[in-house]
């Protein structure tokens, strides 16, 4: 017993029509069609949202309002002159004890 033949499907269809009636089957199929249509609309709406989000650029960063400030150095402050270099005294070497001085400059 492999697949159903056309006769099997016709018998199933007749049983469904007898159980539910012609009007009820039509109503069920109409609701089924509306459900499929609603599903497709929802899918298209999601794709449209994704496409719109991808195509719109992000908003620019907020600008911070700044006012220019004039910087004026205070008039009473003066810079001191650089310190003068202190002279280093020249000290002549002294001979070690027991050493003789041979020549003097």
Give tens-digit pLDDT for 45-91.
988 888 887 777 767 777 776 777 777 766 665 677 777 777 777 77
Token digits of residue 75 = 């008039």
Please report, for the chain, the start and end positions of each structural domain, with discontinuous segments joined by +: 22-56
Give tens-digit pLDDT for 84-100.
777 777 777 776 777 66
Question: Residue 16: which residues within 8 A CB-CB, separation 6 or more?
Answer: 25
- Is the CB of residue 55 less than 8 Å from the CB of residue 63? no
């Amino acid at each position: 017993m492999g697949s159903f033949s056309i006769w099997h499907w016709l018998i199933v269809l007749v049983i469904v029509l007898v159980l539910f009636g012609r009007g009820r089957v039509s109503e069920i199929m109409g609701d089924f069609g509306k459900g499929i249509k609603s599903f497709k609309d929802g899918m298209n709406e999601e794709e449209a949202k994704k496409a719109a989000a991808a195509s719109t650029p992000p908003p620019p960063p907020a600008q911070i309002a700044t006012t220019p400030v004039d910087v004026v150095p205070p008039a009473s402050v003066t810079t001191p002159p650089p310190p003068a270099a202190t002279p280093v005294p020249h000290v002549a070497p002294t001979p070690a004890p027991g050493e003789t001085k041979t020549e003097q400059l």
